[in-house]
A and B are shown apart, each in its own frame.
Chain A
Amino acid sequence: MTDEQTEHADAADEGTVVGAAEGELFSLDALMESELFVVGLFAAFVAVFPWVFSDAPVISGFLNGYRDLATLMLIWGIFAMGFNLLLGYTGLLSFGHAAFWGGAAYAAGIFSNLVSSSPILIILAGTVFAALLAWVLGFISLRRGGIYFSILTLAFGQMAYYMALSPMAWITNGENGYTAVEIGSLLGVIDLRYPVPVVGWLVGTWKYVLVGVVAVAAVAVAYRILNSPYGMVFRAVRENEQRAEFVGLNVWRYKLMSFVISGAFAGIAGSLFTIYGAYVPLQSLYWTTSGEIVIMSVLGGVGSLFGPIVGAGIYLYVENIISGVQALTLPFTGPAEWLTLVQEPVVLMEGFGAYWHLILGLVFVLVIALFPRGLWGLFEDVGEAVRSRTGGDR
C-alpha cells in the first residue's frame, strides 16, 4: 500500500463529495462526512502530532512525550484500525491478530535481509505475507462462528508463535527474535534516520514521514472501504447474519474478505514496526499482543474509524509514560510543573506506575460494561448532546 494509492483515492473522490452535498448550499454535516475532509484532517493531525507531543511549549512539558513514541503510536494505530475493520464493522472478535502483525514483522525482516532492503518493498512483502496468512487462517477459523472463531484464532495465533519459537528457529532465530534486519534508504536516496530538511522541527525524521504517509493512506483506504457498498455488507453481517444471508449475500465470503483485509492492515503495521525498530521480537507473535490490540480497540471504541487509533495512542501512552510515574501527585503541585501552585508535591498514590496494567484492565472492564462504544463513542455522545443543546441544524 504505497502513497500513490491515496492520491488516486483522494482525486477520484471529489466527485462523490459534491454529489453528497448537492441540494444544500452549505452543510457542516456533509462536510464532516466527506472523505477529503476526514483524510485531510487526519493528515494535518499526523503532520503536527510529533511536534505537539514532544516539543510544543507547555503541552509537551505536560505530556512528557517523545518523538519515537509518536511514531509507534501511529504504527499501532494502523494495526488497531485494521483490527476494528473486523471487530467493529463485521462483528468478528479475533484473538489471533498477533499472527499477522508478528508474521508480517518477521516476513519484512527476513525479506529485508535476503531480498531487498528498500523500505517500500519491505512493507509490501510483509503485507502480502500477512494477507495470505490471514486467508489461510481465516479459511479454517471461519468454519465456526461466534465464540469458536475467537478461540480458533487464538489457537492459530499461538501456533504461529510456537512455529517461530522452535521448528522455524533456523530462519526466525528462535527466542532471541530476528536481529538481522536491514533497512535501506527510501527510493534509493533518502536515509530514514535523517531529519527532514526545512520541516524537520515539525515532523522529525524521514522514518516518521514514511509511517505518517502510510497511516494517512491506510485511513483513506479504510474510509473508502467502509463507505462503499462492500463495507455496508460488513455492517449488515454484523447486525444480522441470517438476514444478510437471506437477501442473497454470501456471508462467509464477506467474512473471509473482512478477515483478510484486516490481516493486511495488521501486516502493514507489522512491517512498519520492523522498519521502526530494525528488530523483530518473538513476543510480537505471542497472544498478549493480540490481547493488547483488543484492549486498544475496545478502549478507544469499536465501530468508528478513529476510535481504535485513539485507543492505541492512550494504551501506548499509559504503557510508556504513565508507567514511569513513581508517585501520582495532584496537578500543579511540585517544582517541576509548568504552573506551580504549591512547591511541595501532594502525593495521592505511591508507586503509581507499577499499577498501570491493573488500572488499564479495570478501565477496560468498566468500558465494556458501561460504554460499549468506547471512549470515542463517549466523545461522540457528548458532542451530540452539546450540538442538540445549542440547536443543531437537523
Chain B
Amino acid sequence: MSLVSQVATVLINGLQQGAIYVLVAIGLSIILGTLKFVNFAHGALYLIGTYVGLFITLEVQLTGGKLMEWGYTELGLGWGFLPALIIVPAVVFVVGIVMERFVARPFYDRPDTDQILLTFGLAIVVQELFKILFGGQSYNFARPAWASGPVSVPVIGSFPQWRLYVLGITAVLVAGVYLLIEYTDFGLVVRAGTRDAEMVQLLGIKITRPYLMVFGVGAALAGVAGVVGGPLYAVNPNIGTEVLVPAFLVVVIGGVGSITGAVIGGILIGETLAILVAVAPQWSQVGIYVLAAVVLLARPQGLLGVEEVTP
C-alpha cells in the first residue's frame, strides 16, 4: 500500500467518522440555537434509533420470526435495512415531538441548569429501560447485505462499502436540512427564532409549530445516525452517552445554530481522531478535547458562531 493511499484511507475514515457526529450534532445545534434548550438526552435519541433499527433488521433472529420460518433469513437481513432507514427516522421524529411538547416546553422558562438536569435524568431513564429490555450486552448490528463487502475505490484501494454509504446518506441529509433552513419559509422562521424568538412572535408568527418541527427533525437526524452508525460500532445501552460528548464538542467548536459550523466541527473532530489513531493511537481520544480547548481559547463562540447578544 503506497503512502498516498494510506493517507487517503485515513482521511476518508475521518470523514466517515465525522459524518456520524455531524448527524447527531446538527439536531443538537439547531435545537440549542432555536429553542435555547439544552438536550442532554439527545444521545438517548441516537440510542433509540440504533435499537429500533437493530430490532427491525434483526427481527428474524430476535423473535424466531416469520421470515425465518419462510426461509427468507438472507432477505430479511438484507432488506430489513431499507425499512429501518425509513421507519426509524419516523419513530424518532415522533419521540422528538413528544419530548418537545411534554419535556422541553414546560422547561423553556426554567434555568439552563434545570434543563440539563432534567434531560440528563431522562437520558439515564432511557438508557436503563433499554438495559432492562435488551440486556447490557453488546449486539452485532449486521451491515445490510447489499453493502457488506469491500469495494475498490480509486487511489484508496479496497474500502468497506458501507462506510461510503454512510458518507452518501449524511451528505444528502445535511444538504436537505441546509436547504430546508436556508431556502424555505419554515427555515426563515427558524432562523429568525434563533436570533430573537420574542420578535418573531411579536410579528404575529406562531412559533409553537416550528419549534415542534425543529425538535422532531433534530431528533430524526439523531435516529438516522443511530441506524447508519449501528453497523460501525458495537451496540449497547451506553452508546447514547458515548456519542453525546463528541457531538457537544462538535457544536461548541462549530458554533451553536450553524449547520455549516456543525459540518466543519464534525469533520475536524473526525479527522483529528482518524489521524491520531494512525499516528499516535494513545493520544487519539485526548486529541479531540485539546482541539476543542484550542478552538475555544481562540474563538469562544465557536468557529462559525455568532457573538451572543446578552439577554
B-binding residues in A (CB < 8 A): 87, 91, 93, 95, 140, 143-144, 146-148, 150-152, 154-156, 158-159, 162-163, 165-167, 169, 242, 287, 291, 294-295, 298, 354-355, 357-358, 361-362, 364-365, 368-369, 372
Residues in B131-187 with C-beta less than 8 Å from chain A: 131-132
B124 contacts A by Cβ under 8 Å: yes
* Count of A-B contacts judged by CB separation below 8 Å: 103
Q: Report if B72 contacts A (CB, 8 A).
A: no
What residue of chain A has the Cβ atom nearest to residue B113's Cβ?
A93
Contact residues on B (Cβ < 8 Å of other chain), bracket:
35 or more
Stretch in contact with the other chain, from B204-212, B228-236, B287-295 = B287-295
Q: B282 — which chain A residues lie within 8 A by C-beta? A: 166-167, 169
Interface bits B227-269 vs A (CB < 8 Å: 1, else 0): 0000000000000010001001101100000000000000000
B99 within 8 A of A: no
Residues of B near A372 (CB, < 8 A) are: 114
Q: List 12 A-B contacts (CB under 8 A).
A: A143-B296, A151-B248, A151-B251, A152-B292, A155-B292, A158-B285, A162-B289, A355-B132, A361-B121, A361-B125, A364-B117, A365-B125
Bound-state CA distance A205–B235 (Å) is 45
Which residues on the B side are within 8 Å of A365 (C-beta)? Answer: 118, 121-122, 125
Identify which of A140, A148, A165 contacts B285 (C-beta below 8 A). A165
**Chain A residue at minimum C-beta to C-beta distance from B238:** A288
Residues in B with CB closer than 8 Å to A144 are 296, 300
Is the Cβ of B293 less than 8 Å from the Cβ of A140? yes
**9 further interface pairs, Cβ-Cβ under 8 Å (given A140-B297, A155-B249):** A143-B296, A150-B116, A155-B289, A158-B289, A159-B289, A166-B281, A169-B282, A361-B125, A365-B121
Chain A residue numbers with a CB within 8 Å of B120 are: 291, 294
B124 lies within 8 A of A357 (CB): yes
- B residues in contact with A294, CB < 8 Å: 117, 120
Contact B117 A159 (CB under 8 A): no
A389 to chain B, nearest CB (A): 30
Given A159-B290, A165-B285, are A143 and B252 neighbors across the interface (CB < 8 Å)?
Answer: no
Closest to A154 in B: B245
CB of B117 within 8 A of CB of A93, answer yes
Give the complex CA separation of A354 and B131 in angstroms: 10
Bound together, the chains give a CA A365 to CA B44 distance in angstroms of: 15
Residues A358 and B289 in contact, CB atoms below 8 Å apart? no
Report which of B113, B122, B285, B297 forms a contact with A91, defined as CB distance below 8 A: B113
List, in ascending order, chain B residues with CB within 8 A of A167's CB. 282-283, 286
Interface set, chain B 94-124, CB cutoff 8 A to A: 106, 111-118, 120-122, 124
Which residue on chain B has the smallest CB distance to residue A299? B121
User: Which residues from A are CB-within-8-Å of B122?
Assistant: 365
Question: Do the beta carbons of A364 and B124 come within 8 Å of each other?
Answer: yes
For B300, what are the chain A residues with a Cβ–Cβ distance below 8 Å? 143-144
Closest chain A residue, CB of each to CB of B245: A158
Q: Once the chains bind, are B297 and A358 in contact (CB under 8 Å)? A: no
